[in-house]
Amino acid sequence: MQDALLYVATSASLVALVLMIVKPLWGVMALFVVRPLVDATWSQSLVGDFKLTEILSSAVPLIIVARMVMDEGARRPFKDMPLKWIWLIYSMDSALFSTQVMFHDDWRAGLQVLLRHLNGFAGFYMVQAYCRNERDFLRFAWAMAIAGFFPMATGVFENLTGSHWRITVGDDDVVRNIGLYHDAITIRYYALQTILSLLVIFAIGRRSTLVNVFSVIYGLMAAYVLRGAYSKSGFLTLGAWIVLWPLLRKSAKASIGLAAGILIVVVYYSKQLVQSFGFVFTKEVAAVQGTGEVHSTFAGRWGIWEEMAKEWQSLDLTAHVFGTGHIANGAHNDYLQVLFHGGYLALSIYVCLLCAVGWSVGRLLRERMDIWAIAALFMYIMWMVDSIGLVISVFSGYQWLVWGVIGFCLRHRQDEKLRAHTKMAPIAPRRFANLLGAV
């Protein structure tokens, strides 16, 4: 089965890469559809000791950079990309500290660090560049929904049957249902990607009973798979989405339904809820109540962070400013990872990037709480929650999703303003000429 899956994923990846060169929009959609298959081949080498996941994640940013040069004369050139300067600074600094890793560790480790960070830039550019309007983005949303078929099907099967392709144990010795993937983050973010795609389809797609029924059933399947992954950050992200969706959409029906659903769960299913979800946070609750150890929270990541903090204090000033020159993908914290890779300089740039994106998302919400503002906010919440306990800037597919959706939402609102300004601009000269004629 694994060999057949590798063959299918490799063939589909080649098609996606070729499409990205000749037909970028279809290539981006194909890239999202094929990525879940590629991630399922994480344990198999394709060429030498290089895996398909590494090859695809390396090829995409290189193709995107080449496409940027080709797209310079197109309708949506790079010069109009939102937040392009902070992304350029972030990418150049990534090249700087990855070069240090090449010299201090080895060339392959440094190249891996560089390309993984460049995938964030590639994701931010490619969706906003090639989804030119709502219709294109609706197609993209359907591609994300289709991408979820494979991971959601394997997740539901594993949850229902108890058969595991791989045993991963979380807190309290619970076995996580992670499908064919390396760890829980992969199947969990595919579940959230599926749910987001369904929200977009519901908001901007053609309303029909069939689509509504499909979205509800498919969304419940994704939530069921997410539950089986037993991910703290996944539960927090989904919980925030569930609360914010009816409030930001200002939907009375959705708000009433949410309140009724919560009431039913509390009254009738409180015990089952605790058994299914609540125990995932038992160590955190115990630490807050003073009955447990703080070190046991965050799945024991405090120990890793303390060791890295001690190591950091022992380094010299040059390392503090520019980075250690060693790969730090095991930090289990995105800020610590960036700090070790590029020092205070890289961390400052990364924080500025996150602040710039957060400020831009906040402006979208302040101007109008439509689906674009909400989708951008949901992706930003997802990133900020995961950045605490994971090194998410090394996951290429995750970055394509988060930065891709946010990039399009910012660009879509920017284009709206530009079109409105263009339509209004000729009005003033005509009125001025009429006044002159009257005189």
Task: Kindly give the confidence (pLDDT) of every residue in the chain, 439 residues in length, as a single tens digit, with 9 standing for 90 and above.
Answer: 678 999 999 999 999 999 999 999 999 999 999 999 999 999 898 888 889 999 999 999 999 998 888 876 655 667 889 999 999 999 999 999 999 999 888 888 888 899 999 999 999 999 999 998 999 999 999 999 999 999 999 999 998 888 888 777 665 567 788 888 988 899 999 999 999 999 999 999 887 888 888 998 999 999 999 988 888 888 889 989 988 988 888 765 655 665 555 555 444 444 444 454 444 555 555 555 555 555 555 556 777 888 898 999 999 999 999 999 888 888 889 999 999 999 999 999 999 999 999 999 999 999 999 999 999 999 999 999 999 989 999 899 999 999 999 999 999 999 888 877 776 655 445 444 454 444 4
Whether residues 146 and 252 fall in one domain: yes
Residue 430 located in a structural domain: no
Whether residues 136 and 70 fall in one domain: no
Whether residues 161 and 63 fall in one domain: no
- Alpha-helical (H) ranges within 40-130 are 52-70, 84-104, 107-130
Residue 177 located in a structural domain: yes
d(CA 184, CA 27): 27
Q: Are 121 and 91 in contact (CB under 8 A)?
A: yes
* The pair of three-digit structure tokens given for residue 171, joined into one six-digit string: 């807190």
Structural domain ending residue among the three candidates 74, 93, 119: 74
Whether residues 257 and 186 fall in one domain: yes
Structural domain ending residue among the three candidates 229, 263, 297: 263
Sequence-distant (≥ 6) Cβ neighbours of residue 272 within 8 angstroms: none
Provide the 8-state DSSP code for 49.
Answer: T
- Alpha-helical (H) ranges within 205-300 are 209-229, 232-249, 252-268, 270-276, 282-289
Provide the 8-state DSSP code for 178.
Answer: -
d(CA 341, CA 339): 6
Sequence-distant (≥ 6) Cβ neighbours of residue 425 within 8 angstroms: none
Whether residues 138 and 207 fall in one domain: yes
Residue 59 located in a structural domain: yes
Whether residues 235 and 136 fall in one domain: yes
Residue 296 located in a structural domain: no
> Quick one: angle between helices 52-70 and 24-39, nearest 10?
170
Whether residues 178 and 256 fall in one domain: yes
Structural domain ending residue among the three candidates 218, 236, 263: 263
Q: What pLDDT does 296 receive? A: 56
Q: What pLDDT does 256 receive? A: 60
d(CA 163, CA 64): 40
Residue 95 located in a structural domain: no
User: How many C-beta atoms lie closer than 10 Å to residue 214's C-beta?
Assistant: 14
Sequence-distant (≥ 6) Cβ neighbours of residue 3 within 8 angstroms: 44
Whether residues 65 and 148 fall in one domain: no
Question: What backbone torsions phi and psi does residue 233 show, to the nearest 5 degrees?
Answer: -65, -35
Whether residues 163 and 43 fall in one domain: no
Question: What backbone torsions phi and psi does residue 208 show, to the nearest 5 degrees?
Answer: -155, 150
Give residue for tokens 């710039």.
356
Residue 64 located in a structural domain: yes
Whether residues 157 and 251 fall in one domain: yes
Give residue for tokens 């790079």.
78
Q: What pLDDT does 265 receive? A: 47
Q: Which domain does 51 fall in, by range? A: 1-74
Whether residues 136 and 67 fall in one domain: no
Whether residues 47 and 142 fall in one domain: no
Residue 149 located in a structural domain: yes
Q: Are 371 and 204 in contact (CB under 8 A)?
A: yes
Number of domains the chain is built from: 2
Please give the biggest Cα pair distance in the chain: 87
Cα distances from 229 to residues 3, 59, 61, 169, 219, in angstroms, run 25, 30, 30, 10, 16
Residue 219 located in a structural domain: yes
Provide the 8-state DSSP code for 174.
Answer: P
